[in-house]
Structure 1
C-alpha cells in the first residue's frame, strides 16, 4: 500500500494515567509484559502495508525515541519510507506557514508537520492516536473509505463507558456520522465511540488544516471533525473486535488484566497480523521451590520465589520468598521483597517494595507507584 502515509499522534492530549505518565507519554508506557502501547498502531500500519510513518511528538518523548530507535523491529528501517520522528518545532515558519507557535492540540501538531505532508506524495493519510490497544485491519478501513466516497472515515467501536475524554458518534443506517460529541453521548443517542483512527486523502487533510488554523481551531475532535461533518460526509467503520483507548489508569489496568483471558489474547494477537515490538534477549524466568504462580503473564528474566496470582509481570521482576502479589501490574525491574503484600497495585519501572509492606487498591482505582520509587 505505497499510496498511504501513516501519522501517529504520540503525545498526550486528554488522558489521566497519574504517576505512570510523569516521565513518558501514554504511547511509551509498558504494556502486557513486553510491549509499549504505541506498538499496536505501528504494527497495524506495517501489517496493512503502510511503510511511511510520521510520529508526532510534543514532550516527554525520550522514552519513545529510545524504544522505536531505527524501527528495524517493525521492518521500518528503509531507504525509502520508514519512520520519521517529528518533534515539536521541527519545521520552521518559513518551511511550514501553518506553524503558529506552541502546540495547543492535535491540529497545531499536524499543521506544524504540513511540510512533511506535502513532501510525501501519498494519496491517503491515516491519522491515528498512539494510545490504542487494538489489532485493526487498516487496509480494510482504507478500502472501505475509498469505496464509500466519504471525505473522512473514522473507526468506531461500541460505547463502553461514559468519559469526558471520549468522542461519541451517532451513525445512521448507511454508517454515516450524523452527530459527533466529545464527553457527552446525548442521553445515549450516540451509541458508538471514536477509537482515534481517521482516514482521508492527503490533500483533504492539508486543506482542512489550513482552514482550521485560519479560524483558530485547535481541538481535532471538537473542531476538525465537526467542520468535516458540516461541510462533507464522514463515514464510520465499525470495529467489533477487542479495542481499548487508554485514557486513564482504569483503562490501562483493565486492558492488561483482560490479557489473562485466552480468548481475548487470541483476538488481539493474531498470527496473520502480529503485534511487533523491540526485541530484547533475556534469560528464562526462574521459579523457586516455593514459588506459587496462578493465571499470570510473566516476561523473561524474572525471579519468582513468592506467590503471584492474576498478575502481569514485565522483564527482570523479582518476587522474593513470602511476598504475595495479587491482581497487580509490576513493570520492568520491580522488586517485591520478603513478606510484602500487594493487591490491585501498578508499579512503574524499578520500584522497590520493602519487607513487610502491605498495599491494597481496588480494580476500579488501582494504586499507582511512580518510577524508581522505594516504598
Structure 2
C-alpha cells in the first residue's frame, strides 16, 4: 500500500482505574484472546500496510512483550516491518512524550526515512475493523489535506468523552470540539487520520517550534479553517475502551451473536499473539450460560453472561454473573462474583463475595501468590 502506519499507544487513562496500574490501555485484554492493539495492527496488515510504528510510553512492558515478534500480524518479511518506539533521551531532548504530536515529533526520523506518500495514524485502544484503503481512496478523491474517520453515535451514548465534529453537505469538517462539556453533535472522531507524509512532517515540525504538543488541539482544531479536513463516516462496529464502563461494555458486546460472528467468523481476520494452551476444561457439575471461556481455564462452578479469559480456575460452587475475569485468576470455592471486573493474576479467597452495586466494580486482590 502507499501508506505507512503509526499507532499511538503511549497514553494511560485514569478512567481505567486500577486496570492500567500495570499495563497500557492498548494492552488491555479483549474477548478472551486478543489485546486492544491487535485490532489496529490487524487492520494495518489486512490493508496491506507493511511498515507500522507503534509509539509506546506508559506501563509499556506488557505491551512490548506482546509486540516482541511481528510474525503474528505478518509484517515485514523483506520490506517494511513492525517498529516499537519508546521515549529516548538524546542530547537535544530529555522529555517523555508530552502529547500525541510530540510523540510523532520525537520519532520524526522514522517518517523522514520512509518513502510511502501517505500516513495512516490510529490509536491502539479501539475495537473495530476497517479497510484503510477505502479511507485513502476517499482522501484522494476529496483532495483533502487531512481525513478523519468519524462515527455517528446513538442518541443515548455519551459523546463528551470523544472529539465531536460537525460536517457540511460535502463532509468537510466545519466544527471540531475535543471532549466538550456539552456535546452539540453525536458524530465523533474515532482517532483515525489519513494525510500526506510530507505534510504531516511539516505540521509536526511547526508544532514543535511553537511548543505545541497535542495532535488534535494543535493540528486538527487549530488548522480546521486553513486546511481541507474531511470526515469519512463508518457504520460498522467501533468501540473505544478508555473507561472502565466502556471496557466492560465492549467485552460484554462479544456475548452478542452478531458481534462474535463479525469479529470471529467474517473476513478479514483479527490476529493476535498465540499462546499454546489446552482447551478449557469443564468438570462435572459446571454450568456455563451465554459466556466466553478462554483456553487453559478449568471450570467447576456456574458462569452466566460473563467473559472468562485464559488460565482461570473457577472453584466448586462458585457463581459468576455479568462479570469479566481477566487472565490467570484463581477463584476459591463458594465465591460469588457479580457485575465485576477481576484483575489478572488475582487469587480470590474461598467464601468471598464481590458485587458491583453502583456500576461495575474493579476487584484487585493484592496477595502474595506471585511473591519473589
Regarding TM over 0.5, the answer is yes
Q: 1:149 aligns with which of 143, 168, 178?
A: 143
The equivalent residue for 1:12 is: 11
What TM-score comes out, normalization by structure 1 length?
Answer: 0.93
- Quote the Cα distance in structure 1 between the aligned partners of 2:53 and 2:186: 32
Which range is displaced more, 162-171 or 258-267?
162-171
Distance change in 2, residues 1:11/1:270 (3 Å) = farther
Q: Residues 313 and 330 of structure 2 are in contact (CA less than 8 Å); yes or no, is this contact kept in structure 1?
A: yes
Task: Give the deviation of 1:165 after TM superposition.
Answer: 3.4
Distance change in 2, residues 1:211/1:247 (3 Å) = same
- Which residues of 2 match residues 47-62 of structure 1 at below 5 A? 47-62=46-61
The equivalent residue for 2:315 is: 320
Q: Residues 162 and 183 of structure 1 are in contact (CA less than 8 Å); yes or no, is this contact kept in structure 2?
A: no
Task: Give the deviation of 1:187 after TM superposition.
Answer: 5.1
Q: Deviations over 1:52-78 (max 9, x none)?
A: 000101121111111111111111152
Distance change in 2, residues 1:202/1:288 (3 Å) = same
- Quote the Cα distance in structure 2 between the aligned partners of 1:342 and 1:248: 21
Q: Residues 324 and 341 of structure 1 are in contact (CA less than 8 Å); yes or no, is this contact kept in structure 2?
A: yes
Q: Residues 105 and 218 of structure 1 are in contact (CA less than 8 Å); yes or no, is this contact kept in structure 2?
A: yes
Unmatched tracts of structure 2, length 5 or more:
none
- Quote the Cα distance in structure 2 between the aligned partners of 1:272 and 1:29: 23
Q: Residues 185 and 191 of structure 1 are in contact (CA less than 8 Å); yes or no, is this contact kept in structure 2?
A: no
Task: Give the deviation of 1:264 after TM superposition.
Answer: 1.7
Task: Give the deviation of 1:270 after TM superposition.
Answer: 5.0
Unmatched tracts of structure 1, length 5 or more:
none
Task: Give the deviation of 1:159 after TM superposition.
Answer: 2.9
Alignment partner of 1:18: what SS?
Answer: helix
The equivalent residue for 2:280 is: 285
Distance change in 2, residues 1:256/1:245 (3 Å) = same
Distance change in 2, residues 1:242/1:174 (3 Å) = same
The equivalent residue for 2:66 is: 67
- Quote the Cα distance in structure 1 between the aligned partners of 2:85 and 2:116: 18
Distance change in 2, residues 1:218/1:309 (3 Å) = same
1:255 aligns with 2:254: no
Q: Residues 296 and 312 of structure 1 are in contact (CA less than 8 Å); yes or no, is this contact kept in structure 2?
A: yes
Alignment partner of 1:217: what SS?
Answer: coil
Q: Residues 106 and 218 of structure 1 are in contact (CA less than 8 Å); yes or no, is this contact kept in structure 2?
A: yes
Task: Give the deviation of 1:136 after TM superposition.
Answer: 1.2
The equivalent residue for 2:45 is: 46
Which range is displaced more, 74-83 or 292-301?
74-83
Q: How many residues align?
A: 367
Q: Residues 350 and 373 of structure 1 are in contact (CA less than 8 Å); yes or no, is this contact kept in structure 2?
A: no
- Quote the Cα distance in structure 1 between the aligned partners of 2:321 and 2:126: 26
Distance change in 2, residues 1:270/1:233 (3 Å) = farther
Q: Residues 332 and 349 of structure 2 are in contact (CA less than 8 Å); yes or no, is this contact kept in structure 1?
A: yes
CA RMSD of aligned residues (A): 1.9
- Quote the Cα distance in structure 2 between the aligned partners of 1:221 and 1:359: 40
- Which residues of 2 match residues 12-161 of structure 1 at below 5 A? 12=11, 16-89=15-88, 92=90, 101-160=95-154, 161=157
